[in-house]
Structure 1
Amino acid sequence: MSDVTSRKYIKTKFEGVFYRLSSKIRNPKTGEPDRIYCFCYTDAQGKGHWKTVGRHSEGIRPPMVKSERAKFIAEIASTGINPATRDNVTIGQLVDAYLAWGRSEGKYVDQHYSQYKAHLKAKIHDLPVSALSSGLLSNLKAELLATPTGNTKSKKGGNVKSRGRAKPRKTLAGQTVNNIFSFMRSAINRAIATGAWSGVNPLSTKSGTWKMVKANNERLRFLTREEAKALLDDLEKRHPQLHDMALLSLRTGLRPTEIFKLRGQDVDGNACGLYIIQKGGKRVFVRVPEDMIQMLQAYKRKPAEPIFQQPRKRTAFDKTPACFQTAVRKLNLAPKDGDSLYAVTLHTMRHTFASWLAQSGKVSLMELQKLMRHKNITMTMRYAHLFPGQENEKLSIIGDMLA
């Protein structure tokens, strides 16, 4: 064994199971040098190695080491992966592999990766996955929740202040923190599924040890008819493609990410619908109004070309152009206190689509769930209060009695 020439290993009666005497640790019961049990194995290149299992004072015994060796060797034989090497796999290796796989499968992974890269990569990318203890994860979560967003300093290095009063510092939203950890969890789950790593995912919420942030990310703001018209008129002059994306979302309820991914081949004029890639990477068919089909066909894109393309780059959009917020601010649609629950984004068009349908009284809650493509009715229930009802008449009963 090339890596054990400086240590004396004593053979036990079990094949491949040895122990060595510790030069520093003594058994507290006997006072003698503690036994450190290990086993030997040979890798695919025929090179011998030792793997330490534990100490006698910790309750480790030769039969236990024999069982561990048998499982270790069986795993190498069945998977071709050395578990000892796999234990040293870093978070960065799993994240990079998941990112490459997600992109090849057409999954929308870049947005969450960019959040991971901006806020967490420098801290944990080179750590072994086995180092993700519950304590470390809790500390990272707390640090992320306290992370300021945007530029909090002036060009000269001083704090940015309003006239006579410092502006309140914004921190990362709870949902952004959840997105980062969800991305990491998916990367580890993918590694477990492919055999690149083994063990219990430390970010699994099923075990009860890890908890996501309780984030209130339900958008409360939807546009009035006048606001929607004013915003679309402004966008048409400012950015025609962005106008069409916003109009498409308002008319169909499509998510911005689904619109960004549309290709020429996804428009089916005969069936009057679109083939979209929704959350999770699943491709589905969605019926849309005929004038929306005509609007998309007017771009005359080739089958594999993105319908909406970034200027000069000729590539698909990966985020909403900044001029959307320019229009929002110009029209005074942004919340004055910066509350993200009332912010107007491109996704607000989808929220407005659902809200207007609910207010119309012409669709049921189940029909709205289908139109929004929600996985469960709970997601649709956020619009339940908008459905016409007799609440006002009921609330007047007490007033009438008092009168």
Structure 2
Amino acid sequence: MPPSKRIKTAYPGVYYRETIRTGGNGIERVYYAVYKRNGKLIETKVGRQYADDMTPARASIIRGQLLEGKRLTRKETREAEKSALSTKEWTIHSLWEEYKRRNESLKGLTTDQNRFTVHLNAFKNLKPEEITTTLVDNLRLTLTKSGRKPGTIRNILELLRRIISFGVKKGLILQSQIAVQFEMPRLNNERTEDLSPEQLISLLDAIAKTRHKKAGNMMLLALYSGMRRGEMFSLKWEHIDWERGFINLVGNDDGRGAKSGQSERIPLNDLARGVLMSIPRMTNPYLFPGKGGGKLVDIRKQADAIKKEAGLPEDFRPFHGLRHVYASMLASSGKVSMYELQKLMTHKSPAMTQRYAHLRDDALKRAAEVATDAFTQVIGETNTTSSK
């Protein structure tokens, strides 16, 4: 939306412009103050109508404080903060606190805080340049000896690396001061989960009976379409192309949609279509809205409850596991090529789809046995005729 014209208020030196409301839902006013200080004309934004609960009266009070020098403009505040940050001596702890302050809405901060408190406590008072490769190696070995899984160790080391990288990226510390190298434990990411026919029937029965309908529908969609949990969290009604029969996964900067960050689309088969059509369409743009109508960020507890009701293995992952079930069933059918499977799973690389290659091979072997049966039958019939 292009900048709108100034609109005067009843208060001198206070005006507003109309702009799109934060979140894209409607229009709101953005208030500005105009005043002179030391003979210089200053114009500064003082707040948004909804986001900052700003009114013309409040804007006028702020203008008076700015005029008297009792308050800094937003630009002056940013410059003062930047100056203070640049002269501060940073430790791992203070960098972590600054990271949280700038990313307070980031998913996973609670888990990361627990990792920091439990495992990185010995590092918190050290400056980033004091973190050596030997210290990091000792931490990795200590965690390994204590029985921590490679994935857990990797997450802890990654958090420490992320904190240091944040300081460099934001100009709080110098890259030239950092010499530490991180040796990450190798992970076996080739784990492919599957369900037996009996387990699958038990799961479908549990979903049909559960009171957690939202989680149940999401699990069905993962099973019938192979969609990722994050893609379902971001799925909006406008992303469903009913006429052409596709689900559009729109990737953009806020992480919405396809994991690849690119625009992807997957076919809408009859089973997935049935799930989507069973969901009541309300005024909310999301198919699976979270609290307050916003984007859903977590549904693990409800999904785990359904998993328990179905009697599935404890280590089975409700969404990612069902995505694997979807891919495994397609591969083992023998009717879908590895290229087609890669496209259906929206894998960026063929290597990611190779974990299902053995299932495809098994299907081809079964198909080849048809020739054995056919030849055996012909040979048997020939021998019978010859013996007469």
TM-score, normalisation: structure 1 = 0.56
Q: Distance in 2 between matches of 1:103 and 1:279?
A: 24
The answer to which of 265-274 and 370-379 deviates more is: 265-274
Q: Distance in 1 between matches of 2:124 and 2:259?
A: 25
State whether structure 2 residue 217 is matched by structure 1 residue 221.
Answer: no
Q: Which position in structure 2 is the counterpart of 1:185?
A: 161
Which residue identity lines up with residue 230 of structure 1 in the other structure?
S
Q: Which position in structure 1 is the counterpart of 2:30?
A: none
Task: Verify the 8 A CA contact 1:89 1:129 in the aligned structure 2.
Answer: yes
Which residue identity lines up with residue 136 of structure 1 in the other structure?
L
Which residue identity lines up with residue 266 of structure 2 in the other structure?
R
Alpha carbons of 1:374 and 1:287: their partners in 2 closer, same or farther (altered >3 Å)? closer
State whether structure 2 residue 318 is matched by structure 1 residue 356.
Answer: no
Structure 2 unaligned spans of 5+: 1-81, 251-255, 370-388
Secondary structure in 1 aligned to 2:357?
A: helix
How far off its partner does 1:85 sit?
Answer: 3.8
Structure 1 unaligned spans of 5+: 1-79, 148-170, 395-403
How far off its partner does 1:383 sit?
Answer: 0.9
Task: Verify the 8 A CA contact 2:86 2:172 in the aligned structure 1.
Answer: no
Alpha-carbon deviations, 1:206-256, whole Å to 9, x = none? Answer: xxx421112224333212344223213212322111111001111221111
State whether structure 2 residue 364 is matched by structure 1 residue 389.
Answer: yes
Q: Distance in 2 between matches of 1:307 and 1:119?
A: 33
How far off its partner does 1:178 sit?
Answer: 1.8
Q: Distance in 1 between matches of 2:330 and 2:182?
A: 38
Secondary structure in 2 aligned to 1:212?
A: coil
Q: Which position in structure 2 is the counterpart of 1:137?
A: 136
Q: Which position in structure 1 is the counterpart of 2:287?
A: 307
Give the RMSD, CA atoms, in angstroms: 3.8
How far off its partner does 1:97 sit?
Answer: 5.3
Q: Which position in structure 1 is the counterpart of 2:151?
A: 175
Q: Distance in 1 between matches of 2:85 and 2:103?
A: 25
Q: Distance in 2 between matches of 1:138 and 1:279?
A: 35
Alpha-carbon deviations, 1:27-74, whole Å to 9, x = none? Answer: xxxxxxxxxxxxxxxxxxxxxxxxxxxxxxxxxxxxxxxxxxxxxxxx
Q: Distance in 1 between matches of 2:183 and 2:342?
A: 28
**Identical-residue share of aligned pairs (%):** 26
How far off its partner does 1:118 sit?
Answer: 1.5
Secondary structure in 1 aligned to 2:264?
A: strand
How far off its partner does 1:175 sit?
Answer: 1.6
Task: Verify the 8 A CA contact 1:253 1:354 in the aligned structure 2.
Answer: yes
Q: Which position in structure 2 is the counterpart of 1:318?
A: 297
Alpha-carbon deviations, 1:94-130, whole Å to 9, x = none? Answer: 44555566677xxxx523x333221224514554322
Task: Verify the 8 A CA contact 2:289 2:296 in the aligned structure 1.
Answer: yes
The answer to which of 223-232 and 192-201 deviates more is: 192-201
Q: Distance in 1 between matches of 2:323 and 2:240?
A: 20
Which residue identity lines up with residue 287 of structure 2 in the other structure?
I
Q: Which position in structure 2 is the counterpart of 1:275?
A: 249
Q: Distance in 2 between matches of 1:195 and 1:222?
A: 47
Q: Which position in structure 2 is the counterpart of 1:334?
A: 313
Higher helix share: 2
TM-score, normalisation: structure 2 = 0.58
Q: Distance in 1 between matches of 2:93 and 2:368?
A: 60
Q: Distance in 2 between matches of 1:265 and 1:392?
A: 41
The answer to which of 135-144 and 250-259 deviates more is: 135-144
